[in-house]
Amino acid sequence: MTIHFVQHKTGFGLSLPLVADAAVAVADYILNARPEADSP
């Protein structure tokens, strides 16, 4: 599994390996625990 980012300052993409347990934790945070924000 891989996670992909685009660095805001440079605009360059970055891909990093991600173990399944970490992917589940990130998804859970984004879907359930992350507070609402006015900006992306």
pLDDT in tens, 11-23: 999 999 999 999 9
**Domains: count for the chain:** 1
Instruction: Provide the whole-model pTM.
Output: 0.57
Q: What is the mean pLDDT of the chain?
A: 90
Q: Which domain, by its residues, includes 6?
A: 2-33
Residue the block writes with tokens 């609402």: 36
Q: Which residue has the tokens 């992917």?
A: 23
User: Does residue 25 belong to any structural domain of this protein?
Assistant: yes
Query: Rounded to an integer, what distance in angstroms lies between the CA atom of residue 1 and that of residue 15?
Result: 10
